[in-house]
Amino acid sequence: MSVHDSALGQTTVYPTQYDATLLFPIARAEGRAALGATAPAFISTGVDVWHVFELSWLDEAGKPVVAIGRITVPAHSPNLIESKSLKLYFNGLNFAAFANNDALIQLVVNDLSKAAGAAVQFELLNVDELETHQPQGICIDHLEMTTSEVPREPDARLLKLNPTSANHDIEETLYSNLLRSNCPVTGQPDWGTIFIRYQSAKSQGAEICRNSLLTYIVSYRQHSGFHEQCVEQIFSDIWQIFKPEKLAIHAQYTRRGGLDINPCRSSDPLWLPKVLRLARQ
């Protein structure tokens, strides 16, 4: 069934009973196939980290319990899980009773792992546990774009290199708060902060042109794509054009429907970032 044939994007009656069939998996293969030969072999290295802020269930006495949930989906899983279906699934738990937290965790892990097609992690956080952090790296939002007209679709050819006389490896983390894309189902805008960490070999003698990178990020403004697919396209385009020694990209999207999504991809598992909540989230 196509995602457009589902209840997603339609007026929905929110469930009052647990129902694992509400989860709607979407194959990652289609989005990755669209990247063609530009997709690096290790595009599946990474995780998608979700935070569930509208999470509640009942204890054995029928008293409501609330928490924040953190979901970690491996990027090598064959499926991603559509966000509205995830919201509906957790709403269905609002009136379900559990003997203890472990029983809830085990149920959610089983259901999400089945939908994703791989082992998913789920943990409960206290409602006051998540602190906000300042983004780390060099913000490029103050720079001028390389074109006066905002491109309507992402184009890897927007990315340029700057020659440099540095006789050592260049490693830096650049970030922008200007990432915006659109949900391919509902058309609603998704807002995020994107981080690009790269290392170039001194033999290359070039670094990313920050102005062109900013222009490229802004080009997603009218693009339709799921969060995970946008990050993977950005990763593939930069990898193809720049050919760095190492590359790690993660986007921290603002909350919608009580969920924030943070896809992380890296050519080196040791470069996978720890997702630290930003004030915008």
DSSP secondary structure string for all residues of 58-76: E-TTS-EEEEEEEEEEETT
**Active-site residue flag, 139:** no
Range 71-97 burial, b when 16+ CB lie within 10 A, else e:
bbbbbebebbbbbbbbbbbbbbbbeeb
SS3 of the chain: helix, strand, coil, percent, to 5: 25, 30, 40
Catalytic residue among 48, 111, 190, 237: 190
Distance CA 50, CA 43 (A): 19
Pick from 75, 69, 66, 73: nearest CA to 51: 69
Which one-letter DSSP state was computed for residue 11? -
> Closest by alpha carbon to 4, among 22, 23, 26, 34?
26
Dihedral angle, C-alpha 119, 121, 122, 123, nearest 10 °: 150
The pair phi, psi for residue 274, each rounded to 5°, is: -85, 125
End-to-end CA distance of the chain: 32
Q: Are 74 and 115 in contact (CB under 8 A)?
A: no
Please tell me the distance from the alpha carbon of residue 223 to that of residue 262, in angstroms, as a whole number. Answer: 18
Structure tokens at 103: 């029983």
Q: Considering the candidates 48, 183, 260, 264, report the single residue annotated as catalytic.
A: 183
Catalytic residues, by residue number, are 183, 190
